[in-house]
A and B are shown apart, each in its own frame.
Chain A
Amino acid sequence: MTRWTGSLRMRLLLGTLVALALALLLAGVVLGGLFRDHVMRQFETTLTQQLDQLTARLVFDAGGQPQIDPQALSDPRWQRPFSGLYWQLDQLSADGQSRSGVLRSRSLWDSSLTLQADAMADGGIHVHEGLGPQDAPVLMLERTVRAAETPDAQWRLIVAGDLQQTAQAIDRFRGVLALSLLILLALLALAALAQVLVGLAPLRALQRALNEVRQGRVQRLQGDFPSEVQPLINDFNQVLATNAEVVARARTHAGNLAHALKTPLAVMAQAASAGAADLPALVQAQVAASRRHIDAHLSRSRVAASLQLPGQRTPLAPVLAGLLRVMERVHAERHLAFTLAPMDDSLAFAGEEQDLQEMLGNLLDNAGLWARSAVRIGAAREGETLVITVDDDGPGISAAQRDAVLARGARLDESAPGSGLGLAIVADLARLYGGDIALERSAIGGLCARLSLPRSA
């Protein structure tokens, strides 16, 4: 993108200017044409009146000679030589012999008007542009008349008016018009520039605000923005807030993990330097504790990393099918029957596939660990909610333990490997999506985990 088209301001300005120039040019051409037409028509009307007057004054004497009394014509320009208004009478004989300039106005002086002979209906007025005396451009109107006195001949009356004045008037008008339009263009261009500058000002303000954020001076985009830009600002601030939250959570997690790992390390270092008798067992135990910490923090960070993009849709059936394939392999030794109750194929979770996999995987794995012989999975829609139940026929857990198992930050050192933590992750993820998990007594004897999640249509 070049420097010119790359700038939004330049693009807007150039576009406006081009459009304005085209519009004004069109206006100039149309107005100029209209004015010329109007002036010409008016001039023609004047000449028509003169021609009518002339026609009325045309008389024939006893010898059949045409007569026009110059005194009867009121306009003084007929008399003044080369005044710009002329008349002439031609005789058109039936035998084709024509006599030009049988009678002429005094203003024609020593010149005459020349017209092509044309076949024209009687009484009609024909308009020509041509050259008059002194080669000046003239508008000529002609009319052919017959007289009862001269049956053999037709008479052609011509009235001519000088076009120079008209042309000057038109030119003057065009000049004024062009000047006005140019001034208008300049004013409109200025207005467009102002509009673009004012209109795009929020963008520069936005840029400044972003700069402030980037340099760490402020946490959020600040300032008053027009209503068209404000939603953008709000969204961006939301992104910033989410980002800050994620970073803060990640920092907390990293810090927590580091602290959590320091204890086993300290214990091991102490034992090694003191030459403890049961060092291998102690190291095993401390490594196991560290592992649980790492598992827990990895899971929590997975929850924190959940994208939560709007409009996501994950069909339930394929995810369940994939996880059940895993369960059948992983728990193959225990010969468990994983039964999937018939469910609507169109059921879908409004969220990320990985998160759904994580929740259901942990629930199924947990059920698989505790079940005696059977795990049952069911899913149904309840309004806007997708409810998934996982039942097992294992020992179940007491009501008092249920809350502890789901609690965030349950004391990890007390949790046996493979239990407890998984359900806490499920609870965290479910709540992140505005859902929940409830642990109940199962109809088939063990635990029933009831997972409620937002449903996608």
Chain B
Amino acid sequence: MRILLVEDDPTLRAQLRTGLHEAGYAVDEADNGRDAHFLGDTEAFDAVVLDLGLPVLDGLSVLKRWRNAGRVVPVLILTARDNWSEKVAGIDAGADDYLTKPFHMEELLARLRALIRRAGGLASPLLQCGELALDTRSGRVTLQGQTVALTSHEYKVLEYLMHRPGAVVSRTELTEHIYAQDFERDSNTIEVFVGRLRKKLPPALIETVRGLGYRLVPPP
């Protein structure tokens, strides 16, 4: 899952980056509204953490521009001000949730997980596909109740596919959502991860759609 982190305070941004990395997210960053708008407009993200008080272009304006351009990426706004008029303004500008500073990293991660899940139309934090279950809260994957040990990249690929059950996901899309922008991308590595996942999980679970990508197929 790939997150756009927009925060102008370098210390807080570094802390957030660390927390998001530790939670397994690929993170792209912007420290002003103009860069943030550009990135959100041109790249594919699974969620955005957006500070409202930004230099050059304020967070609300960035959000409104994205929404006017039809970008539906879930957005969590961060605000230092704790008044309701700002919260209403944020939600009305198209935010999906807000968090008031200061906050706990755990709360931010929980809300982010929920946003990403809801964006995929999934109600429960426990994603299931047949006997395979992925708990987005703990990052645990179980097959018939038994924990499956996955590397972080394997987990990221599986998590992305499980958020889109039955949908065809191209390698490029997977690459885009698993790596940050400045990462050396190579879609061949995706094949490697999928190959390893097939060994650890029922082989028929991840289907290759020739020329298009992969699809998670629930067992009949």
Contacts and interface: CB of A to CB of B under 8 A. Distances in A.
Contacts, number: 44
B135 interface: no
Given A287-B102, A291-B102, A329 B91 contact: yes
B85 A326 contact: no
A358 B84 contact: yes
B85 A325 contact: no
Given A291-B102, A332-B114, A361 B91 contact: no
A171 interface: no
Interface of B: 82-85, 87-88, 91-92, 95-98, 102, 114, 118, 123
A325 B91 contact: yes
B88 A329 contact: no
A323 B98 CA distance: 13
A224 interface: no
A322 interface: yes
B122 to A, nearest CB: 12
B88 A322 contact: yes
B85 A354 contact: yes
A369 to B, nearest CB: 14
A75 interface: no
Contacts of B88: 322-323, 325-326, 357
The A interface is mostly helix, strand or loop, or mixed, namely helix
B91 A357 contact: no
B107 to A, nearest CB: 10
Given A326-B91, A329-B91, A329-B96, A361 B118 contact: no
Contacts of A330: 97-98
A326 B83 contact: no
A353 interface: yes
B102 A353 contact: no
Given A291-B102, A326-B98, 8 more contacts: A325-B92, A332-B118, A333-B114, A357-B84, A357-B85, A357-B88, A358-B84, A362-B84
B92 A329 contact: no
B84 A361 contact: yes
Given A287-B102, A291-B102, A326 B84 contact: yes
A302 B84 CA distance: 12
Contact of B95 (A287, A291, A329, A362): A329
A403 interface: no
A328 B123 CA distance: 14
B83 A302 contact: yes
Nearest to A322: B88
14 contacts: A287-B102, A291-B102, A299-B82, A322-B88, A322-B92, A325-B92, A326-B88, A326-B91, A330-B97, A332-B97, A354-B84, A354-B85, A358-B83, A358-B84
A298 interface: yes
A422 B98 CA distance: 17
Nearest to A287: B102
A323 B92 contact: no
Nearest to B102: A291
A152 interface: no
Contacts of B84: 323, 326, 354, 357-358, 360-362
Contacts of A358: 83-84
A354 B83 contact: yes
Contacts of B92: 322, 325
Interface string A333-363: 1010000000000000000011001101110
Given A291-B102, A329-B96, A353 B118 contact: no
A322 B93 CA distance: 11
Interface in A275-330: 287, 291, 295, 298-299, 302, 322-323, 325-326, 329-330
Contacts of B82: 295, 298-299
